[in-house]
Every structure is written in C-alpha cells, then in structure tokens.
Amino acid sequence: MTPVHSFRSLLDELGIVVSNTMQVEDSGERFQLKTRLTPLQQPLFELLEITL
C-alpha cells in the first residue's frame, strides 16, 4: 500500500536532496557529491522533469 502524502510532506521529502561540492585537502581537486534519490523521490523528480 502506498502512503498518502500532503503537499507539505512531499516538499519535506524533496528538501533532503543535496548536492555538495567536496574538495580533497591534499590535491585541491573538487567533485560533486549528490544524494541518491529514494524510491519516493525518483518519480517526483521525473514528474517535475528535474535531473541531478
């Protein structure tokens, strides 16, 4: 059974998606570390046509 969400709870779920720029101390190299989407977040991002 799929849980029912309010608009607020969906926004809360989407609010935990992050993209961090990380920097390696020794070399100074930078890279992006992004949240893996949950099974609930994935279809929301698809419906909103958002790519990470």
**33 occurs within a structural domain:** yes
List, for residues 2-52, the tens digit of each pLDDT value: 778 898 988 888 888 899 999 999 999 999 999 899 998 899 889 989 887
**1 occurs within a structural domain:** no
**2 occurs within a structural domain:** no
pLDDT of residue 1: 63
**38 occurs within a structural domain:** yes
Total domains in the chain come to 1
pLDDT of residue 13: 86
**37 occurs within a structural domain:** yes
Under DSSP, is residue 31 helix (H, G, I), strand (E, B) or coil? strand
DSSP 42: H
List the one residue out of 19, 14, 18 whose CA is nearest residue 46: 14
pTM (2 d.p.): 0.64
Q: Which domain holds residue 41?
A: 7-48
pLDDT of residue 5: 85
